[in-house]
Structure 1
Amino acid sequence: MEPLFTAEQLAEIHAYYLPYYVRAAVDPFARLALMALLLGVLVQPLYRAATAAASGLEHRLGVLRTAPVSRAFLRAMDRLWGEPGWGAALLFALGMDLFVKLVYLPVDVWFQYTLEHRHGMSNYTPGTYAWDLLKGHLLGAVCLSALVIGLYGLARRVRRWWLVLGVPVALLMLVSSTLDPYRDRLYFDQKPLPEGPLRTRMTELMNRAGISFSDVRVEETSVASRRVQAYFAGQGPTRTIILNDVILKDLSEDEVLAAVAHEAGHVQEPKWPGRIAASFALLTLLFAFDRLLHLSASRGWFGTTRFADIRTLPLLSLLLFVVILLTNPISGAFSREREREADRYALRLTGDVESFRRMLVKAARVNKMDPEPPRWVVLKGMSHPPVGERLADLPPPKP
């Protein structure tokens, strides 16, 4: 069997991934230092600036308190927050988030745009990259605003807020993936896969697997990236097979079917134990937030004057970061095992080892996968086994 990469390709892959490995090693310490700066130095200045800005806006836009539509919205926000001051809280949270994003902006642009172009992995133009980056930040700002109002507003008014908030959010998590096909369209255009042999064979494959789906769609990711990709989005009536336009160009029909069969293995995974565990983990995290908010209020940390003071937001962010950092190796190990089982499922479903092998090889070459990343990178939380291991796990080729 021919080697996965030539020596020249392997050298380029190592050059491509080296900055990512350096970042993986340095980033946790950089984020901890940034959070220490926020908590130790910047909380009070940011809070004073947010309070002054909110007061200025209230003075200049006071007419909105009397206009019919805006008056109803502002009164609803006052009730959600429990008292005046939600404007300053939102500006503080958004200001903190903007500060972190600006600190990371040069690094993010270099990794996401410059490095990707240098190694031929990106088709982004400066304009389309900036637009997608802006969309991501705007969506994040909306989510952060909802979190601030929901978490801090509820915590101010309800004693067991973590339970009142956690239970419906946990239930929502169980079905939130139904929206995946629609979220994906925020960034890339999609169109139905035309009728033809590939669609027919894919339907037959899913019938054998007992998997129902609503559509097969082609996602036009080539405007941004040269990577191949296939996945299932949604669940139940919204379940959709997504193929990007690159995989249709670079892989044969048999190889595309092998990739879809692998993704079908994830559909067949027992989802409910993981979702239930995630829901309980969310409740536990919110309870830990509640204890931290009480402790901050009793000690007067960061100038807090009451329970659920918005100035504790960087502290909650720090706790969340530490939890993710400590649990990533565990979740990564479970994810890699799920990927191995999906490989085994795909081989049972198709019975076509050679097409699956060719699919992995072509995907590795097009996506420039490191066949043997450093072991610490894998253990830190890689979601997929190294492609070299996946190929080694396949049955030997028939003589």
Structure 2
Amino acid sequence: MEPLFEPIFTPEQLAEIKAYYLPHYIRSAVSPLVTLALLAFLLGGLNRPFYQGAQALASWMGRRGAFLRTAPVSRILVRAMDRLWGEPGWGTALLFALFIDLFSKVLYAPSDVYFDYLLEHRHGMSAHTPLTYAVDTFKSWSISAVAAATMVLGLYGLARRLRNWWLVLGVPVALLMLVSAAIDPYRKRVYFDQTPLEAGPLRTRITGLMARADIAFADVTVEKTSVASKRVQAYFAGQGPTRTIVLNDVLLKEFTEDEILAAVAHEAGHVNEPQWPGRIAAACCLVGLLFVIDRLLRLAAARRWFGTTQFADIRTLPLLSVLFFLLMTTAKPVSGAFSREREREADRYALRLTGDTATFRQMLVKAARVNKMDPEPPRWVILKGMSHPPIGERVAALPGP
């Protein structure tokens, strides 16, 4: 290892970091091939049995729950779903989507348990118990199921009813994306409790720092992530009246006040980035993606792929997964490069704001040690889409004393 990294890590720490990251790098290398194989299996082998199973289960549930079509409240929901879908087959569509989602989750479960629980515990990075890990996994799976159901009803339901559905759906969702960051402070609370940072010197100093940066914020909160992880983290959530500075409780325990201010200054650099061009570009890309999906669904219907009998047949859902995978795989290196440059600029902004290079370096080094950051990851890992520059590069870029 070059002398550059010796002040950051001891040889023993470096050896542990390499041992920790090696399985992650192997997974990163093989995961695209595994995902493609899974998607091919879904399209070629499991599409028909999953669809037939969804039909059979929906029929059975329809018979057992026939009373729901006449009950005072549920009948309104059932009729609304029939109207949206254009026929009673929406139950089959929902179950088909949930079958695919559950199959993928179960297939990846052994890998997830190894990487998110066993490996993390082996290297002292996790505070999860088997119960808390299971609860968080259940929350994640539930959110994924709701998202899958929402996509089926929103995308396929509108596509079956309206010719220009991609505009009807895309424009409102794109507009919502422009302001969606306002709800960011509440998303993490699904997993972790947050409490306001108590009054005292740290809160006073953060308020003063934000006054110098001319950044308005609603509150400073402490996120209790120590129940699951031993990593340090600080970030800004929300926008406008909901903007919140979030510090996790591990950060408060491990870092000095000066180091916490340096971390907050870095995050303040992201607030000062030009936000709207990226949001507008993302919103336009969403509308464009929905148009591509419309063309793909029409092609599938015309060619009768996977036994489809009409436009927006739910059996094309795995095909959309292939499209999303290809787009994400292609876009991630580009988005990663932009993200790394934003991180470099946020470092420069923090130094201008605080004028304290020594403390900023201490903050980076301590974060690298606590979070076990690889100072010199393989180049292909960086180019594949790393969101942050390697910690060794960030420290080397700091101006001298």
> How would you bin the TM-score normalised by the shorter chain?
over 0.9
Q: In the aligned structure 1, how far is the partner of 2:52 from the partner of 2:282?
A: 37
Deviation at 1:79, TM superposition (A): 1.4
TM-score, normalization: structure 1?
0.99
**Counterpart check, 1:88 vs 2:116:** no
- Residues 58-82 of structure 1 show CA distances to partners (whole Å, capped at 9, x for unaligned) of 0011001110100011111111212
Q: In the aligned structure 2, how far is the partner of 1:101 from the partner of 1:132?
A: 14
1:388 to 387, 392, 399: 392
Secondary structure of residue in 2 paired with 1:191: strand
2:372 to 368, 371, 375: 368
- Residues 262-307 of structure 1 show CA distances to partners (whole Å, capped at 9, x for unaligned) of 0000001000100011011111111110111000000010000000
Q: In the aligned structure 1, how far is the partner of 2:125 from the partner of 2:113?
A: 14
Equivalence for 2:180? 176
Q: In the aligned structure 1, how far is the partner of 2:258 from the partner of 2:205?
A: 9
1:232 to 236, 259, 273: 236
Q: In the aligned structure 2, how far is the partner of 1:355 from the partner of 1:80?
A: 58
- Mapping for residues 253-272 of structure 1, pairs under 5 Å: 253-272=257-276
Q: In the aligned structure 1, how far is the partner of 2:235 from the partner of 2:382?
A: 22
- Mapping for residues 49-198 of structure 1, pairs under 5 Å: 49-198=53-202
Equivalence for 1:315? 319
Equivalence for 1:351? 355
Q: In the aligned structure 1, how far is the partner of 2:191 from the partner of 2:106?
A: 22
Q: How many residues align?
A: 397
- Residues 158-197 of structure 1 show CA distances to partners (whole Å, capped at 9, x for unaligned) of 1111111110111111111111111111100111101111
Code of the aligned partner of 1:82: G
Secondary structure of residue in 2 paired with 1:68: coil
Q: Which structure 2 segments of 5+ residues have no match?
A: none
Identity rate of aligned residues, in percent?
71
Deviation at 1:373, TM superposition (A): 0.2
Equivalence for 1:221? 225
Equivalence for 2:342? 338
Q: In the aligned structure 1, how far is the partner of 2:338 from the partner of 2:180?
A: 21
Q: In the aligned structure 1, how far is the partner of 2:394 from the partner of 2:267?
A: 15
2:35 to 26, 31, 35: 31
Code of the aligned partner of 1:391: V
Code of the aligned partner of 1:269: E
Deviation at 1:350, TM superposition (A): 0.5
Q: In the aligned structure 2, how far is the partner of 1:97 from the partner of 1:345?
A: 42
RMSD of aligned residue pairs (Cα, Å): 0.7
Equivalence for 2:44? 40
Deviation at 1:254, TM superposition (A): 0.5
Secondary structure of residue in 1 paired with 2:73: helix
Secondary structure of residue in 2 paired with 1:302: helix
Code of the aligned partner of 2:219: D
Deviation at 1:144, TM superposition (A): 1.0
